[in-house]
Structure formats: C-alpha cells, structure tokens
Structure 1
Amino acid sequence: MTTTSMVKPKFLTRGNELGVVAVGFSGGQTKAGVDAGPAEMIKNGLLTQLHEDLGYDIHHDGKVHTYADVIPSSADPDHRNMKQPRAVSAVTRALCDQVYAQAITGRCVLTLGGDHSIAIGSVAGTAKAIRERLGREMALIWVDAHADINTPEMSDSGNIHGMPVAFLTGLAKDDDESMFGWVKDDMKVSLKKLVYIGLRDVDRAEKVLLREHGVKAFSMHDIDK
C-alpha cells in the first residue's frame, strides 16, 4: 500500500497534510442534488480513509459550506448569458479565499463539491498561493469528460459549470467584481500550462478554442488506445 510517507512532494512543504474544503453548492447548473455530495462523502468515511489508509493529517473545519451568507438575497438576473452569475461569483470568491488560506501554508488542498463551477474558486486560490510561495505559474491537469472552457457568449445553456476554465485562463473576464472581476491575473493559469485528459463530450465552439490556442488534450479514444 502506498502511503504519504513514501511520497516526497517536491513543492509541498507540508506534504503529510491535506487541507479539505467541503462545498455544498449546485448553483452553476440547474439540477439539484450535487450540493449533497460533500456531506455524503464525509458521512461515508472519505476523510477517515484518507487519514487511516493514506496517512494524511486532515485539516478540515468540520463544515460543509453553502456560503448562504454571501449569496445575494435579491434577484440574480442573467448577465452576458450567465445564469445566477452573482451567486456563483460570490460563492467561488469565498471558496478561493478558503483554498488560498490552506494552500499558502504548503499543504495540498482537496475541494469536495458541488457542481463544477466551484473549480473557479479552487483553482484560483491554489494558483495565487503557488505564485506567492514558489514564484512560478501553476500547471493544470483537467481530468474530465468535458472541457468546461465555454465563454459566456459561447454557451448554449448559460450554466456556469461549463465555463470555469474560460475564466481561469482569461478567455472570459468581466470588470465587475460581482461578476468574476475578482479573478485577477495572479489567480489565472496559462493556456500553455493546461492539459486535458479524458475528453469525450466537447462543444463545437470549445473544440475551435482548443485548436486555436494549441491546448494539449487527450480524449477517451486516446486513453483507450
């Protein structure tokens, strides 16, 4: 059995520690249910297994965050084709701060969600911490059936769970702080340091973007071979 004692992480000063942030949020898309994911994983022993089987010292505040206190109580109309933009922006910003606070200490951070819009917060917080700790850009390996690189104007659905990579790479941006304007350059990832693994359902416009920017991508067909 592989344990953390056998692994010598090059860039983590606290390689035996695992920060965990649980996010019960589904606002990046329209189907309820994914918000229950973190509680179910914890209830069924995920954190215990990570500690007992892999040897990690777990740093978790014992909460599943819904961020109800930052979600606007007033109407949240569409903006640039995005659904619930203020709510998703506020939640991912709060998550970014939490992930950053863990990552800046030199430990690995695991985010439990939640729909995939939360990736905006988890990646942004990690990227900022890496720049400050190591003085370098973060590389991003995106293991997913979907590219999630739609810009708001490209999206057919307007659901932000299909847009996180666009905001994280600067392909999508907004000057309004309440509409992801808080995602600054030090929180972003270069398209040259992005690679996809496992793609099988990519929108036509996303394929064009990936080709135009020369993004490395390995589909399920590549993996099956």
Structure 2
Amino acid sequence: MREHRKVLTIGGDHSIALGSVDGHIQAKNGEICLLWVDAHADLNTADTSDTGHMHGMPVSLLVKELADYWPYLPGLDWQKPTMSIKNLAYIGLRSVDHYERLIIEKYGVSAYGMEDIEKYGIHAVTTLALERINPTGTKSLHVSFDIDALDTLEAPCTGTSVRGGMTLREGVHIMEIAHRTGWLGAVDMVEINPRLGNILQVKTTLEAATHIIKAAFGFSRSGHVPQHIEKLPGYYAPILIEDKIVKREEPVAVPPLLKES
C-alpha cells in the first residue's frame, strides 16, 4: 500500500476489516475514508449488541468517537480508534439495530439504505456518499464490501443474508465508480461462506464476488482496447495453385484498425 498498490482482503466475517482498515489508516497516516457496503451497520458496541457477535461491531471499534464506549480488550492493544466517523459512509443498509440507528443520527453519518437506492439510483447514491466522505479527493479510499449487501438471490452463501438487497449490477457499479475516482487504496470482500449452500448457490455467490472484485481493479463491462495493436489479425485465406488448395504464407492484407494520431 505504501508503494501505491491496491490491497485486496478476502474473508471471512466482517470483523477482519478491523485489521485491514487499521492497516490502511497506518499506511496513509490516518488520511483515509471508509465506504462500508453492507446490509448491516456493524456499529454495535459490546453493550448494545443483542448477539455479542464481533462481526457486528468492527466499525464501532474503528471510529474514535465511540472509543469511550469500549472497555479494555485483551489482545487488541495494537488497534487504536483514530478514524473520524465523519469519514464513514454506508451503502445498502436494510437491517439496522436501534442503537446503531441512534449513533448514525447522533453523529450525522452518511448512511444510504435500499430506499435511497430505489429513490435516487445507485450511481447518484455512490457519488454522493464519496463526495461526503472525501470532498477534496485527497484521502485514500477503503471499500469494505459485505457480500450480503447483495440480495439473497444474487449471493445466497452468506451467514446473515437479508432479502431485498442490491442487484449484482448495482454492486459492480459501486466498485466501478470507486475505481474511477483514482482514490481506491484497499478493498475487502467478506462474509462469503461456501459451506452454506449447494453447488449452484456456491457458484452464484463466488461469481458475484469475482465480478465485484474485478470491477474494483478496473475491469470494464464494455471491454478494453488492446494495447499496441493497430489492426486485426490477418486471415490466411487459401489460394488455388494447379488445381490444389494451398495455404498462404502471408495473411491477406488488411487496413490498420486504428489510425496513427
């Protein structure tokens, strides 16, 4: 990351983002913004969580505004909450606990749920979220993508799926926009669990994750012009010599596909 290369982390439950985001913060001296794409806010503390599951708490451990709500945690001495909650935005929310909603409202977190996507469209929502958390374009962007942000039909093999989520197309477009900003420094792809489905469901989930990851690294659905190629490969058309069909030694001449500028 210090060499300006993108980092991809694949998991695993969403608690792994505690390490990947913290590492990003350290590598960029705190100058990062975080786009959390998820059905859930993952903003509970140990006292507000109904389940006690760590994968529902990583965001609250990362932001400095909630540091006083956490006791000392043995084994997490390395992790210091230094990111401002103002540098956080959500996309895809549709299962938010009461205390999580309270925190979102109290601190004015940029949080876009499925109703916002339905009303404004994924392009507008993503663009607005990124403008809110990085208005000057000077911060490094971390996108932490939980596969359950997608609808269950798009990604069935995940542990806490919620119906009514995004389409794969919408998930891919988020990453396309993130890539085009030029800010993207790190990506998490999490909560993929192949043990939770049949062969077809596993294939569907893995294909969805693959498409999203490829978009983050610049793959274009409209295709790419190959570099250093000016014309299409020539066709070695056969010719007739003395009543025998003979293959040409040279391809049929074709004009350049691209003119020199």
Q: How does the TM-score come out when normalised to structure 1?
A: 0.49
